[in-house]
């Protein structure tokens, strides 16, 4: 897997909030139920995102979480980067160092793929993902071919 489960849950929660027609706060229980993820685990993730300024957290009746940037311009990298080390390129074969002058057998091809992945993470916003969501397909399952 490219991203940790935590980063995936964070992205799915951000996308869920971006797809809502209003900007009203959504309770953790409601998000967890909609995404079918563990409530307590999701709560911790949402609080991290709120502390980092990506979500707003509102307490009390009618409280919950909403996007801090309602335009959805937050990037995948900004969300996932709080949970995964996205700054360094990793060797596909797990070597501690993999460079052009000391490459692993997969380095040449993997370097291009890793650069494309990083560009996707850096350039794709939550709004981009929300526009690509199909209404009649569950958000967490891949499309059938």
The pTM of this model reads 0.83
CA-wise closest residue to 55 among 5, 83, 22, 17: 17
| Token pair listed for 105 | 């057998």
Domains present along the chain, CATH in parentheses = 5-86+125-131 (1.10.10.10)
Cβ contact 76:11 at 8 Å? yes
Instruction: Check residue 137 and give its pLDDT.
Output: 46
Per-residue pLDDT for the chain (145 aa), expressed as one digit of tens each? 589 999 999 999 999 999 988 889 999 999 999 999 999 999 999 999 999 999 999 998 888 999 999 888 999 999 999 999 876 677 889 888 888 999 999 999 988 888 899 999 999 999 999 988 655 444 444 444 4
Q: In angstroms, rounded to a whole number, what is the distance separating the alpha carbons of residues 76 and 8?
A: 10
Q: In angstroms, rounded to a whole number, what is the distance separating the alpha carbons of residues 33 and 19?
A: 15
Instruction: Check residue 135 and give its pLDDT.
Output: 56
Q: Which residue has the tokens 């993470």?
A: 121
Instruction: Check residue 15 and give its pLDDT.
Output: 95
Q: In angstroms, rounded to a whole number, what is the distance separating the alpha carbons of residues 127 and 100?
A: 36
Instruction: Check residue 143 and give its pLDDT.
Output: 44
Instruction: Check residue 22 and give its pLDDT.
Output: 82
């Amino acid at each position: 897997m490219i991203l940790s489960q935590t980063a995936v849950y964070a992205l799915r929660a951000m996308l869920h909030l971006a797809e809502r027609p209003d900007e009203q706060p959504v309770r953790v229980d409601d998000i967890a139920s909609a995404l079918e993820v563990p409530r307590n685990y999701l709560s911790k993730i949402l609080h991290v995102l709120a502390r980092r300024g990506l979500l707003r957290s509102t307490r009390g009746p009618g409280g919950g979480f909403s996007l801090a940037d309602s335009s959805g311009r937050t990037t995948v990298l900004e969300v996932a980067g709080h949970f995964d080390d996205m700054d360094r390129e990793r060797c596909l074969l797990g070597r501690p160092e993999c460079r052009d002058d000391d490459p692993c057998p997969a380095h040449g091809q993997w370097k291009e793929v890793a650069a494309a992945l990083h560009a996707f993470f850096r350039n794709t916003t939550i709004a981009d993902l929300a526009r690509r969501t199909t209404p009649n397909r569950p958000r967490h399952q891949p499309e059938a071919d």
